[in-house]
């Protein structure tokens, strides 16, 4: 009886487990190892070990990490990417909150449709969504002419909206906005409307109702949304690559360059590992914060 259950468990859990082990865990471990390696003669990765008459030798180095730490450029880029991610997260929060609140307070039969409307753009092609902003922010397009016209009227120099940090930020906000709306909505929908009635009954004005009741209760949703936006934004590469030009570079672009252009794979791996650790640390911190927020409020 017991053995049959164990066999069934292996048959069910085994195949996906194996696949993910091979195509997720193994590559990650290899990347960790690669970060201690030397670049190959023609680029890529040099062998990490070799055999000779004396046996097995490992050809490893800490150079990659040392270079990373020593060169302030990379520190700056990590910092810049962090700042971008923070800004994007805040903007997403500000834009998402009213929308999520509106949907959560709308009549029940509208909610599914309203949510679907939020989700649909997310499901459309990622590149298309970024490309659309190339059009909107382009120098020939209306928005750019409007802004530069206004600047000219104020006797200020014209700015390029495209290929700038501004374009990167807008692109990142646009792409990640649904990730903030949905967890927020999921949380806000569960709020008991009687709580707000009670607050108003006891004399709270609408603004106070929001800050004293709604926002604190929504903290777990805010944190969930923040994680879902912050982490991909930190590791973004396509948006800065397409919309950023030279001024909007983020750490993701550098990693890409190491792998595809400079072909210094060990160094690229080291950068990736540092980013992974950063992401893990932030996720852990956010999970801790979420547990505190959730625990205290739903005590």
Partner 1 sequence: MLKNSSTLRWLSALAVYAFLYLPLLMVILYSFNASRLGTQWTGFTLHWYRVLLQDDEMLRAAYHSLLIATVASAVSTVLGTLAGLALYRYKLRLLPFLIVAPLAIPELLSGVSLLIFFVLINFTLGLASIMLAHIAFCISFVAIVVRSRLAGMDPALVEAARDLGATPWQSFRYITLPLIAPGILAGGLLAFTLSIDDFVITFFTAGVGASTLPLRIYTMIKISVTPEVNAVSTILVLLTLVIVAIASRLAPSALRSGA
CA angle 101, 107, 112 (to 5 degrees): 80
Q: Measure the CA–CA gap between 56 and 54, rounded to whole angstroms.
A: 7
List the one residue out of 283, 81, 96 whose CA is nearest residue 174.
Answer: 96
Q: Judged by CB, which is closer to partner 1: 31, or 293?
A: 31
Q: Which two tokens mark 242?
A: 């397409």
Least distance CB 16 / partner 1 (angstroms) = 4
Least distance CB 70 / partner 1 (angstroms) = 22
Alpha helical stretches, state H, the chain: 2-20, 26-34, 63-70, 72-105, 108-123, 126-137, 142-153, 165-188, 193-201, 206-208, 215-217, 219-234, 238-243, 251-256, 265-297
Least distance CB 222 / partner 1 (angstroms) = 16
List the one residue out of 125, 146, 221 whose CA is nearest residue 181.
Answer: 221
Q: Judged by CB, which is closer to partner 1: 28, or 61?
A: 28
Q: Judged by CB, which is closer to partner 1: 75, or 206?
A: 206
Q: Judged by CB, which is closer to partner 1: 164, or 269?
A: 269
Least distance CB 298 / partner 1 (angstroms) = 20
Least distance CB 247 / partner 1 (angstroms) = 17
Q: Judged by CB, which is closer to partner 1: 132, or 219?
A: 132
């Amino acid at each position: 009886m017991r053995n049959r259950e164990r066999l069934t468990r292996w048959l069910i859990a085994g195949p996906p487990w194996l696949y993910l082990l091979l195509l997720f865990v193994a590559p990650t471990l290899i990347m960790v190892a690669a970060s201690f390696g030397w670049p190959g003669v023609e680029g890529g990765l040099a062998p990490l070990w070799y055999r000779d008459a004396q046996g097995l030798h490992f050809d490893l180095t800490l150079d990659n990490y040392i270079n990373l730490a020593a060169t302030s450029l990379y520190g700056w880029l990590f910092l810049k990417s962090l700042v971008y991610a923070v800004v994007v997260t805040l903007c997403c929060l500000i834009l998402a909150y009213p929308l999520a609140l509106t949907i959560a307070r709308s009549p029940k039969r509208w909610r599914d449709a309203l949510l679907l409307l939020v989700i649909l753009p997310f499901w459309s092609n990622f590149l298309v969504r970024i490309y659309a902003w190339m059009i909107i922010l382009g120098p020939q397009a209306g928005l750019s002419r409007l802004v530069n016209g206004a600047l000219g009227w104020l006797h200020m120099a014209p700015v390029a909206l495209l290929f700038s940090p501004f374009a990167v930020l807008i692109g990142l906000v646009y792409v990640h906005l649904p990730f903030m709306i949905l967890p927020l909505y999921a949380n806000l929908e569960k709020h008991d409307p009687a709580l707000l009635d009670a607050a108003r009954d006891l004399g709270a004005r609408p603004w106070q109702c929001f800050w004293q009741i709604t926002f604190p209760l929504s903290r777990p949703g805010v944190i969930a949304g923040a994680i879902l936006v912050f982490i991909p934004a930190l590791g973004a590469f396509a948006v800065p690559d397409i919309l950023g030009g030279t001024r909007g570079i983020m750490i993701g672009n550098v990693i890409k360059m190491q792998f595809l252009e400079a072909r210094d794979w060990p160094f690229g791996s080291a950068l990736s590992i540092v980013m992974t650790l950063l992401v893990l640390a932030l996720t852990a911190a956010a999970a801790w914060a979420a547990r505190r927020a959730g625990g205290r409020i739903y005590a």
